[in-house]
Structure 1
C-alpha cells in the first residue's frame, strides 16, 4: 500500500509540472494586459516601466522558470489589477465556492443515491419512471436557464428566498460560512439547488444502473435465501457493491463543481472563485488566471489520489493487492 501511495504521489508531481507549463504558456500567449491596464495616452516610458515591473519584458521561458521558483514557496505572484498577492485573492473567495460546491454535491448524493436505488429496485413502477424523467431533465436543461427560473419563481413571485449574493456569515475555524446563520442559509439554497441538478441526475442514473446489475447477482440471491429482509439487502449488499463508482463520481463531481461553478456564481452574484476568474479574464489579469487554473489542476490530481485510496478502503481485494505490491 505504501508503494502504491508513493507511486501515485510521483505521478501527481509529474502531472502538475506538465499542467503548470501548459497553463502558463497558454495564458501568457493570449493578449497583452498592458493594453488593458495602461491608458492608450500613456508615454512609451510609462509603458516600458509597467512592462518591466510586471516581468513581461523577459522571454517566456524565463517568466515560467521564475513562476516555478515562486510556486515552490507558495507564491503565485501579485495581481496586475489589485496589486495584492494572488493567493490572498483566491483564498478570500475560496470558502464561498467551497461551501456552494459541497452543498450542491451533498444534495445530489443524499437525494440522488436513494432515488436511484429505488428506481433500480422497482424499475417498472410509476415512481421509478418519474425519477428517471427527472434525471433526464437534469442532464438536458441548461444550468443558467434553471437558475433564472429559480430566481423568477422563488425570489420574484413567491418572495421566499433571496435572489442573489451570499448574505450574513459566521466564523468557524477562521473561515466565514453562510450555512452557520439562518439568514445566510437562505442565500445558499437557490444557488446550491441550481448547481446540484446535474449531480442529482448523474447520481440517480449511476445508482440505478448499479442496483439493476447487483440485484441479478448471486450475492443477492443467497442473501434472500438466508432470510434477510429487502431493506437489509439493499443497505448491506447493494449499497456496498455500488459504492466504488459512486465514490468516484462524488469525488470528481466535487472537483468539477469547485472548478466550474462560474455560471451559477455569476447568475446568483455569489462571491466565489468563479466570479473572480471571470473578472480576471476580462482584465487579462494573468497571475490570477494562472493561479486559478493551476489550483484547479492540483485539486483534480488530489481528488483522484483520494478516490484511489478510497477504493482500497472499500474493496478488500484492492487492499490485498496493495500489500502484495
Structure 2
C-alpha cells in the first residue's frame, strides 16, 4: 500500500510538471511582456531591469526553471492587465470560489444522495418516478438558464435573495469569508443551487443505476436468502459497492465546480476565480490564464489522488490486492 501511494504521488507530480511546462509555453510564446508592462517612455535601464526580473535573458530551459522556482517561492508573475502579482490576484479570489464550491457540494450531498437512494431502493414508487421526471430538467437546462430563472423568481419577483455580489465578508487574517454573515449566506444560496442543479441530478441517476445493478448481484441475493432485513441488505451490503463510483463522480464534480464555475460566477457577478479567468481571457492576460491552467490541473490531480487513496478504506478487497 505504501509503494502504491508513493507511486501515485510521483505520477501526480509528473503530470503537474507537464501542465506547468504547457503553461510556461503560453507565457513564453504569446504576447510581449515588455511592451505591455512598460510604458512607451520607459528608459533602457528600466527595460533591462524588467528583462532580468522576468528572466527573459535566459535560454528556454533556464526560463522554465526560473518559472518553476518562482512558483515554488510564491512568485507567479505579473498580470498584463493590472500589473499586479498573479498570486495575489488568485489568493484574493480563491476564498469566494472555495466557499461556493463547498456550499454547492453540501446541497448536492443533502439533496442528491437521499433522493438517489430512494430512487434506487424503490424505483417504481411514485416519489421515485417524480424525482426522475424532475431530474430531466436539471440535466438538460444549462447553468446560466437555471441561474437566470432563479434570479427572476427569488430576486426580482420575491426579493428574498440578492442577484449579484457576495454580501458582507469577514477578514479572518488572509481569508475573507461571507459564511459568517447573514448577507453572505443570502448571497451564496442562489449561485450554489445553480451549480448544484446538474450535480444533484447526476448523483441521483448514478446512485440509482448503481443500486439497481448491485441489487441484482449474487451476494445481495445470498444476503436476502439468509433472512436479512431489506434495510440491512441495502445499507450494509449494497451501499458499499455503490459508493465507489459515486464518490469518484462527486470528487470530480467538485473539481469541475472549483475550476469551471465561469458561467455561474458571471451570471451572479460572483467575485471568484471564474470571473477572474473570464476577464483575463477577454483582455488576453496570458500570465493569469497560465497560472489558472496550473491551478485547475493541480485541483483535479490532488482530488483524484485523494479519491484513489480512499478506495482501500471503503473496500477492503482493494486494500488486500494493492498490498
- Work out whether the TM-score is over 0.5: yes
Distance 1:80 1:54 in 2: 13
Aligned twin of 1:67: 67
Aligned twin of 1:265: 265
Aligned twin of 1:297: 297
Indicate how the Cα distance of structure 1 residues 224 and 193 shifts in structure 2: closer, same or farther if over 3 A, else same: same
User: Are 1:207 and 2:207 matched, yes or no?
Assistant: yes
Report if aligned partners of 1:109, 1:199 keep a CA contact under 8 Å in 2.
Answer: no
Moved more, 161-170 or 29-38: 29-38
CA offsets 1:107-152 (integer angstroms, 9 cap, x no match): 1222112212211222223322222222222221111111111111
Report if aligned partners of 1:199, 1:253 keep a CA contact under 8 Å in 2.
Answer: yes
Report if aligned partners of 2:34, 2:47 keep a CA contact under 8 Å in 1.
Answer: no
Distance 2:173 2:225 in 1: 51
CA offsets 1:46-82 (integer angstroms, 9 cap, x no match): 8x93974655676655533321221233321233333
Q: Match of 2:176, SS?
A: strand
Indicate how the Cα distance of structure 1 residues 142 and 30 shifts in structure 2: closer, same or farther if over 3 A, else same: farther
User: Are 1:107 and 2:107 matched, yes or no?
Assistant: yes
Distance 1:75 1:239 in 2: 46
1:1-325 correspondence runs (5 A): 1-26=1-26, 28-32=28-32, 42=40, 49=47, 52=51, 61-171=61-171, 175-323=175-323
Report if aligned partners of 2:169, 2:180 keep a CA contact under 8 Å in 1.
Answer: yes
What displacement does 1:253 show?
Answer: 0.8
What displacement does 1:153 show?
Answer: 0.9
Indicate how the Cα distance of structure 1 residues 93 and 44 shifts in structure 2: closer, same or farther if over 3 A, else same: closer
Report if aligned partners of 1:33, 1:284 keep a CA contact under 8 Å in 2.
Answer: no
Report if aligned partners of 2:36, 2:80 keep a CA contact under 8 Å in 1.
Answer: no
What displacement does 1:275 show?
Answer: 1.1
Distance 1:184 1:204 in 2: 29
Moved more, 272-281 or 251-260: 272-281
Report if aligned partners of 2:27, 2:287 keep a CA contact under 8 Å in 1.
Answer: no
CA offsets 1:3-37 (integer angstroms, 9 cap, x no match): 01111111111111111112222454444566766
- What 5-or-longer segments of structure 2 have no aligned partner? none
The TM-score with structure 1 as length reference comes to 0.89
Over 4 Å off, 4+ runs? 31-39, 43-46, 53-62, 171-174
Report if aligned partners of 1:33, 1:285 keep a CA contact under 8 Å in 2.
Answer: no
Report if aligned partners of 1:54, 1:80 keep a CA contact under 8 Å in 2.
Answer: no
Report if aligned partners of 2:38, 2:47 keep a CA contact under 8 Å in 1.
Answer: no
CA offsets 1:216-271 (integer angstroms, 9 cap, x no match): 12333333344443333332222222111111011111111100011111110111
Report if aligned partners of 1:115, 1:204 keep a CA contact under 8 Å in 2.
Answer: yes
Distance 2:57 2:149 in 1: 48
Distance 1:234 1:197 in 2: 26
Indicate how the Cα distance of structure 1 residues 243 and 19 shifts in structure 2: closer, same or farther if over 3 A, else same: same
Q: Match of 2:124, SS?
A: coil
Distance 2:320 2:157 in 1: 58
